[in-house]
Structure 1
Amino acid sequence: MMARTDMPARPNRRLRFWVAIAACLAGIAVLCTLGSWQLERLVWKEALIASIEARRHAEPQSLGAVEKRYAASSDVEYVPMRVEGRFLHEGARYFLSTFQGNAGWNLYEPLQLADGRLLFVNRGFVPYALKDPALREEKASGPVSVTGLARNPTAERPDSAPDNDPVQNVYFWKSLPDMTTGLSLPAGATFLPFFLDAGPSPAADGYPMGGTTIIELPNSHLSYAITWFGLALTLAVMLVSFIVRSLRGPRPEGEEEAPVKG
């Protein structure tokens, strides 16, 4: 008498059925969690954008007020401020940049304040060929008043940014220690820990051209959430279809669908 070999088929089929359901439910849960997280990020990003818009359109604050804010929160990003002083042109630092499709530099120079302290100011865009100050007319030779947006320092080098090159005077990210390397400072002078992006220049055709601060906060969280929830819905539909087919059971051998009569 031959032993039957098909006895485990039914338990194995049940096991595969429940494993498949468990896997689908786990996948749906993960996708829904990701979608919910993106909705939370959407709320956070919209609040951040609203906060920045409120900041940048406010009245310029004094240096003292911005210093107090930085001491309290270490965050003065895009806070309008106004300062007075004298530029030390010999301390110019050049950051690779583009503006309106043109390659060039953002020119950072130390602004010496009345109390002797220094503040690095991003004076604006300079075309690539005009890096040499002798090739452009310098108009800010005396005391000046600069209005613009305060900017936080960059604590660490971004992954996408090369190392700064103080020797060649080429910079890619705002590292105050790098920017002060090789700089001959007045006796006892210290730098403020934040920066200032100058606003638009009075002479629109002059260089450096101020007002080049880029404020772009990508906000794709809603589309990401829709994607995750859409995938969860697709998986749910597939799961329901799988369960329905499984409950109907396999079609007996030899049974064919009845032809549809026209």
Structure 2
Amino acid sequence: MSSENAKPAGKGRIILFVAMLIVTAATTALGAWQVQRLIWKRELIARVDARVHAEPVSPPPASASVTAANDEYKHVRVAGTYLNDKESFVQAVTSHGPGFWVVTPLLTADGSHILINRGFVPADRRDPSKRAEGQVEGQTEVTGLLRMTEPGGGFLRENDAANDRWYSRDVTAIAAARNVAPTAAYFIDAEANPAAATAPVGGLTVIKFPNNHASYIFTWFALAVMSAAAAFYVLRGHWPFMKRKTKA
């Protein structure tokens, strides 16, 4: 092999070897990060499952600061009176089809309010007169799951308070539109009540956390092994295009 061919081959080998080392380091780091994500996701699922199936407790007071990490999906129970004349209807798509969530302020004993997602109604039962049996009057008790506010909107549309069109359960905006204060910064998804009227239908909270981290771990570490093997072959000079033809 001539010296003219040897120099480019040697330089190319070094560049490719360094590139393979960088790829190996990057994919190994990504695999390690996915391991951490898998541990976090499993802990999250276990924590939420424990909250959902725990005995109901009193929800935080309206003045309390709540976070998803510490409070979301807590099983809570609260007493109060529904302000049925201040219902809001939030667009929803559920296992029962399209329709609306019925979100009603609950006036509690201390004078504060909690928005209650009482459940789902189809469009043809949005009018309270068509579900009069479901309009609970007087003191009542609500059991359900604490949920965090959903600001902004949903279904690729912004909430429109001026026209009373709601696409997400935005606690602050709905409370302001209905002029109820003070109001807790969260809402409660009411449980299904078999003894109650058929509408609204409660207990439709969907709790699902995608957990694909194991497949990501396999993918990144497999790529790390392959790039490390490629680096080894380059270093040993076994990479096919590293072999140069000698001059006659």
Pairwise TM-score range, normalised by the shorter structure:
0.7 to 0.9
Name the residue aligned to 1:48.
44
Q: Which runs of 5+ in 2 are unaligned?
A: none
Count of aligned pairs between the two proteins = 243
Task: State the Cα distance separating 1:176 from its structure 2 match.
Answer: 2.4
Name the residue aligned to 2:110.
115
- Counterpart of 2:56 in structure 1: which amino acid? P
Q: Does 1:106 align with 2:101?
A: yes
Match runs of 1:41-80 below 5 Å: 41-63=37-59, 66-67=60-61, 70-71=64-65, 75-80=70-75
Task: State the Cα distance separating 1:177 from its structure 2 match.
Answer: 2.7
Q: TM-score, normalised by structure 2?
A: 0.86
Contact 2:67 2:148 in 1 (8 A): no
Closer, same or farther in 2 for the Cα pair 1:159/1:72, shift >3 Å? closer
Task: State the Cα distance separating 1:162 from its structure 2 match.
Answer: 2.5
Closer, same or farther in 2 for the Cα pair 1:237/1:7, shift >3 Å? closer
Q: Does 1:92 align with 2:84?
A: no
Name the residue aligned to 1:260.
none
Q: Which has the higher strand share?
A: 2
Match runs of 1:132-147 below 5 Å: 132-137=127-132, 138-147=134-143
How far, CA to CA, are the matches of 2:216 and 2:223 in structure 1? 11
- Counterpart of 1:67 in structure 2: which amino acid? P
User: Secondary structure at 1:194's aligned position in 2?
Assistant: strand
Question: Considering only aligned residues, what root-mean-square deviation do their CA atoms show, in Å?
Answer: 2.8
Name the residue aligned to 2:13.
17
Task: State the Cα distance separating 1:57 from its structure 2 match.
Answer: 0.9
Task: State the Cα distance separating 1:229 from its structure 2 match.
Answer: 1.2
Q: Which runs of 5+ in 1 are unaligned?
A: 1-5, 255-262
User: Secondary structure at 1:136's aligned position in 2?
Assistant: helix
Task: State the Cα distance separating 1:246 from its structure 2 match.
Answer: 4.7
Q: Bigger shift: 107-116 or 29-38? A: 107-116
Name the residue aligned to 2:238.
245
Equivalent of residue 39 in structure 1, options 25, 35, 38? 35
Please give the per-residue CA displacement for 1:86-110, whole angstroms capped at 9, x wherever unaligned. Answer: 1111211222212215111111110
Name the residue aligned to 1:225.
217
Name the residue aligned to 1:148.
144
Contact 2:23 2:224 in 1 (8 A): yes
Task: State the Cα distance separating 1:228 from its structure 2 match.
Answer: 1.0
Contact 1:69 1:76 in 2 (8 A): no
- Counterpart of 1:195 in structure 2: which amino acid? F
- Counterpart of 2:184 in structure 1: which amino acid? L
How far, CA to CA, are the matches of 1:190 and 1:51 in structure 2? 30
User: Secondary structure at 1:85's aligned position in 2?
Assistant: strand
How far, CA to CA, are the matches of 1:176 and 1:68 in structure 2? 12
Contact 2:114 2:186 in 1 (8 A): yes
Task: State the Cα distance separating 1:217 from its structure 2 match.
Answer: 1.0
Q: Does 1:81 align with 2:76?
A: yes
Q: TM-score, normalised by structure 1?
A: 0.82
Could you list the runs of 4 or more consecutive aligned residues of structure 1 that deviate by over 6 angstroms after TM superposition?
A: none
